[in-house]
Amino acid sequence: MDTTRSLSPRARWAVPAVVAGAVAAAFAVPATMGAVASDELPAVTADELVERLAVAEKVPVSGTVVYTARLGLPDVTVSEIQGAGPLDLLGGSSTVRVWSDGEDSSRAALLGEVSEYSVVRDGPEAWTYSSADDEAVHYVVDPADLERYEALAQEGAEPPVDGDVPTPSEAAGLALAYARTTTDVTTTEPVEVAGRAAYQLEMRPQTDGTLVDRVLVAVDAETSVPLRTQVWSVQDAESPAIEVGFTDVSFDAPDLSVFDFSAPAGADVREVEVPLPEPGTLEQPSSDALGKDAGVAVSGTGWETVVELSDVDVDEILGATSEGRLPEGSTGSSGADDLFEELTESEDGELPGLPELDTQALYEQLTTEVDGGRLLTSALLSVLVTDDGRVLAGAVPPATLEELAG
């Protein structure tokens, strides 16, 4: 029992050092190990890979996704106070757990510290649920459109949800839609994502007139499921501006009860009927919400596209929020809508504990004064609000917008 006593005091003090070293090694080794033989994959060309993505059979996927945004926006996240919500996606890292049956049912849960924001889709209906304010929103396809939905469902259409949570597949789909225009598509060396060997597509805009430097999509070598999407900005060569990828993935079919959601007892439930978009129309922010006479014009093509809204009454929108809710869809982005909504939400007009948010101040914090208007810059998107009521937005340098605004 006294072997320890034979150790000299100096030897005894070596023990904690050894323990500390062993602990450090125990944490460091698993991170560097587990290199999958991704370099043994047979080579494919970019065209083959795009083709594989297009024809890939949809398979059930579940796992953990980490989403990181480095957009260079001022920190406006309020998840510490408000719990997890789509606002978290504006900056920093968020963890999302996803389940998909490979068909028309899926579930994504954005994890907060002791909160969660879920988006559950099951065929023609969808739910969002926020644990922080115990509110469920039930989206159903407009009954008039239900028949058309059934037909579209074969092609993978799903009801649109405000405040959606991104997954690598959706991000990749968006990037590929762009890839058809004015983009150089190549493949990089195979990579390893979530412990799986993956091919990687690289899409580079041919133009210099955009903030997007390149988009990388890692595609699982075996199942052709997109595992990771990165969007790199020209402003940051060190790390991607947006990255969404699996850290842990499984292709086993998830338990079907995961998709079976109903509002918990006691929760506030809002019912929303969503009409299906008419085939062939672009989704546009409804012009009533932006003030009378608002018009939409698009200039530039491909990566340089700039959307210009004219006759927008900014003061009216900012004023509207201090009175209550922002009209749905009025910012043209569900994330920004939720921002305003979350920050201005109150029950019975009272908001004890939370200071009243000054939307005007927030607007001034997010934007900077420029000649003839106010400018919001981020790593991937610029928005210019001119004094004469026009809003210009695009993935282009701010100077382009100012030039267009004249």
Partner 1 sequence: MSLVDSPPAGPPVSSARATARLLGSELRLVFGRVRNIVLLVGLAAVPLLIGTVLFVTQDTPVAGQGPPFLDRVTGNGVFLVFAALVSCLPFLLPLCVSIVSGDAVAGEASAGTLRYLLVVPVPRTRLLLVKAVAALAYAAAAVTAIAGVGLVAGAAFFGVGDVVLLSGDTIPLAEGMLRTLGVVGYVVASLTGLVAVGLFLSTLTEVPVAAMAATVVVAIVSGVLDALPQLSAIHPALLTHHWLDFGEFLRLEVDASTLFAGLAVQAAWVAVFGALAWSRFTTADVSS
Footprint of partner 1 (CB under 8 A): 1-2, 4-5, 9, 12-13, 15-16, 18-20, 22-23, 26-27, 64, 75, 83, 92-93, 97, 109, 111, 113-116, 118, 127, 129, 131-132, 134, 136, 248, 258, 261, 263-267, 347-348, 350, 352-354
Q: Which is nearer to partner 1, 354 or 399 (CB)?
A: 354
Q: Where do we find the tokens 């991000």?
A: 171
Residues 77 and 125: beta-carbon distance below 8 Å:
no
Backbone angles phi, psi at 250, to 5 degrees: -135, 145
Q: How far is the CB of 96 from partner 1 (least distance, A)?
A: 12
47 closest CA partner among 157, 187, 165: 187
- The span from the CA of 197 to the CA of 221, in Å, is 6
Q: Which is nearer to partner 1, 110 or 212 (CB)?
A: 110
Q: How far is the CB of 14 from partner 1 (least distance, A)?
A: 8
Sheet containing 306-310, strands listed edge to edge, beginning at the edge strand earlier in sequence: 295-299, 306-310, 391-394, 382-386, 373-377, 368-370
Q: Which is nearer to partner 1, 155 or 347 (CB)?
A: 347
Q: Where do we find the tokens 């208007």?
A: 373
Q: Where are the beta strands (DSSP E) in 83-206?
A: 92-100, 105-111, 116-122, 125-130, 135-141, 183-187, 191-193, 196-205
Helix, strand or coil for residue 358? coil
Q: How far is the CB of 22 from partner 1 (least distance, A)?
A: 8
Q: Which is nearer to partner 1, 68 or 207 (CB)?
A: 68
Tell how strand 196-205 and strand 191-193 pair up. Answer: antiparallel
Q: Which is nearer to partner 1, 147 or 255 (CB)?
A: 255
- The span from the CA of 244 to the CA of 169, in Å, is 9
122 closest CA partner among 147, 87, 149, 96: 149
Cα–Cα distance list, 131 to 271, 349, 369 (Å): 17, 21, 38
Q: How far is the CB of 238 from partner 1 (least distance, A)?
A: 14
b/e code 245-256 from CB counts within 10 Å (16+ = b): bbeebeeeebee
Q: How far is the CB of 283 from partner 1 (least distance, A)?
A: 28
Q: Which is nearer to partner 1, 248 or 403 (CB)?
A: 248
Q: Which is nearer to partner 1, 113 or 189 (CB)?
A: 113
Q: How far is the CB of 354 from partner 1 (least distance, A)?
A: 8
- The span from the CA of 35 to the CA of 353, in Å, is 50
Q: How far is the CB of 260 from partner 1 (least distance, A)?
A: 9
Q: How far is the CB of 360 from partner 1 (least distance, A)?
A: 25
Q: Which is nearer to partner 1, 113 or 323 (CB)?
A: 113
